[in-house]
Structure 1
Amino acid sequence: MDIRNFPKVTVILRGYTYEQVRSVVEVLAESKFETAVEITLNSPDVFNTIEKISQAFGHQIMVGAGTVLNHEGAVKSIKAGAKFLLSPIMMSKETLQYCKERQIITVPSAFTPTEIYQSFQDGADIVKIFPAARLGSKFISDVQAPLGKLPLMVVGGINGDNAAEYFKAGASYVGIGSGIFNKEDILNQNEPGLKESLSLFQKKIFS
């Protein structure tokens, strides 16, 4: 899969049930706002959720798995229908190769220039800078000065107020969890609240 088609914004859904995840994805699909959705593996009955959401919305929204910590989790996620995998740590060469053979986009994490460089050398498609807010937006431009333009995703402390700043600094993608939707709205499947939050987020990053 060509990462040039990967959405600039990934919505991270952590710890939610299938019904709660579906309520968010329905709002995203209806809005026509181009996003990817990451369902983290530390969520209840997660592989069933990934499978159902992929089957129902995969033609509209790119659905992937997050918090993938090992090869077993990667295999199960792909079998469930995940089209991309994110991790809070570096991925093994075995996992990166397994995904490449199946055209699954890989997004391992890094915190230093060495980790970023090594992940790309090992075959990563995109590297996630995490936790990005601890480093600041200038880190993105600074690290690309010697290494060149790289497909970097910033995650951790990113929201509607600072996403544009990271894009300007050279980030290609952002991953956002609590920075878009109110947690209570997700838990209660509050559709009007979810729509309002999404609209506000769009206005902030595109203003």
Structure 2
Amino acid sequence: MDRLDYPRFTIIMRGYTYDQANAILQAMKGFEQDFAVEMTLNTEHALQHIRKLNEIYGENILIGAGTVRSLADAKAAVEAGAKFLLGPHTFSQEMLTYAHEHAVLAVPAAMTPSEINDMFAKGADIVKVFPATVVTSQFFSDVQAPLGKLPLMAVGGVNANNASDFLNKGASYLGFGSKLFNQTDLLAGDIDSLAASLQTIVSLA
């Protein structure tokens, strides 16, 4: 997979049931090119969810794995059909190599200029800056002044209120966690309301 095909926004599904995840993917109709979907591996039955959701939506929606922390995690996720791997920390060279051998995008996390530089040097496709609100949006502008324009993803505390600031300061991608949707809408499986939340984010770009 080519990094240029990766959507600007990622929906992070942590702790979601299959029915909740399925409702979100139904709400993505019309937004398939705007959002990727990440099922975190510390979610119960995550691998089964990734496999089943890919069978239903995989032709139109990019579905991958999050909280990938080891080579074993990477292998299990890819075998389940994940099209990309995101982590909460840096990836080993073995993890990056495995992802490339299987045409899967590798998105390790980093929090310092040295870690960011090291991950790109080792073959990362995108580097997730996490937690983004801790370093603030200004970090994205400052770190790219000496390192050059880089495909960085802001994750951790990103929401509709600060998303534009991260984009304006140099983040190429944004990841949204639990604050993306109203919990009442999520629990009720309200597809129209979930879609409205997605539209709010797309309108910021």
Instruction: Indicate whether the TM-score tops 0.5.
Output: yes
- Structure 2 residue identity aligned to 1:148: G
Cα distance in 2 for partners of 1:8, 1:31 equals 11
| Distance (whole Å) between structure 1 residues aligned to residue 91 and residue 122 of structure 2 | 9
Instruction: Note if contact 2:7-2:33 (Cα within 8 Å) is conserved in structure 1.
Output: no
CA contact under 8 A between 1:69 and 1:88: conserved in structure 2? yes
Which structure 1 segments of 5+ residues have no match?
A: none
Correspondence 1:37-116 to 2 at 5 A: 37-116=37-116
What are the residue-to-residue correspondences of 1:1-207 with 2, within 5 Å?
1-32=1-32, 34-203=34-203, 205-206=204-205
C-alpha separation between the residues in 2 aligned to 1:151 and 1:200? 23
Offset, 1:193: 2.6
In the alignment, the residues of structure 2 paired with residue 47 and residue 32 of structure 1 have an alpha-carbon distance, to the nearest angstrom, of 21
CA distance in 2, matches of 1:32, 1:120: 27
Structure holding more helix per residue: 1
Deviation at 1:65, TM superposition (A): 0.3
Identical positions, percent = 45
**Whole-angstrom distance in 2 between the partners of 1:31 and 1:152:** 21
Give TM-score scaled by structure 1 length.
Answer: 0.94
Aligned AA for 2:29?
A
Q: Between Structure 1 and Structure 2, how many residues are aligned?
A: 205
The alignment's C-alpha RMSD in Å is 1.3
- For residues 89 and 60 of structure 1, do their structure 2 counterparts lie closer, same or farther at Cα, with a shift above 3 Å needed? same
Question: 3-state SS of the aligned residue for 1:125?
Answer: coil
Q: Is the 8 A contact 2:158 2:176 kept in 1?
A: yes
Distance in 2 separating the partners of 1:59 and 1:99: 20
Asked if 2 retains the 8 angstrom alpha-carbon contact of 1:34 and 1:61, the reply is no
* Structure 2 portions without partners, runs of 5+: none
- CA distances 1:38-77 after superposition (whole Å, capped 9, x unpaired): 0001111111100011111111110000001111111010
Residue 198 of structure 1 and its aligned partner are, at CA, apart by: 2.2
SS in 2 for 1:7: coil
Q: TM-score, normalised by structure 2?
A: 0.95
Give the counterpart letter for 2:145 in structure 1.
A
Seen in structure 2, the aligned counterparts of structure 1 residues 69 and 184 have a Cα distance that, compared at 3 Å, is farther
Contact 2:154–2:171 under 8 Å retained in 1: yes
Structure 2 distance, partners of 1:163, 1:79, is: 33
Q: Counterpart of 2:139 in structure 1: which amino acid? A: F
